[in-house]
Amino acid sequence: MKKIIFTLAAFAITTFASAQKKVADVATFKAETIDLGKIKVGNPTTAIFQVTNISKEPLIIETASPTCGCTIGDYTKSPIAPGKSRSITATYNAANVSPFTKTMTVKFVGVEEVKSITIKGEVLSEEEYAKLKPAALNTSSVKGAKPAANLQKKKS
């Protein structure tokens, strides 16, 4: 009798585990990594990630959390209808001169798995930034990136 109960429990657990939704079942991202290019120190810059609901039900972003305090995340709070797209933004503060790679973790309601999306680039000093040719600068030609002009810096 114990063997039968154990076998049924193992079967139920296996069936439940394989039935859980994964991110790939409900959403796709236009890009999982956005290169912000070369940006000037002190010039916060925003990447915009497009997420599309590929399921047959409304999709809700539960969280979109940056992994460090140098990045601010925001996301669509309303449900995303099937076949529709919405955005997740990641704004990097560009406070230090150096190359950077920052991630955000995205969690959808009803999906145990989390998805990581990444922004990267290089923060240059004002002098180095001024030396660049216009084609090498972060401009509106970089898809999904824009200067975050309306952000206020926190005072220490």
- pLDDT tens for 20-38 read 899 999 999 999 999 999 9
Tokens of 156: 């220490």
Q: How confident is the model at residue 144 (pLDDT cuts 50, 70, 90)?
A: low
Name which residue leads in pLDDT, 9 or 69.
69
In a domain, 3, yes or no: no
Please give the model's pTM, rounded to 2 decimal places: 0.76
* CATH number of the domain within which 51 lies: 2.60.40.10
Q: What is the mean pLDDT of residues 137-144?
A: 50
Q: Is 12 part of a structural domain of the chain? A: no
pLDDT digits (tens, 9 = 90+) for 83-99: 999 999 999 999 999 99
Residue 60 lies in a domain: yes
> Across-strand partners of 64?
106
- Determine the structural domain holding residue 97 and report its residue range: 21-136
Name residue 122's beta-bridge partners: 38, 99
Residue 100 lies in a domain: yes
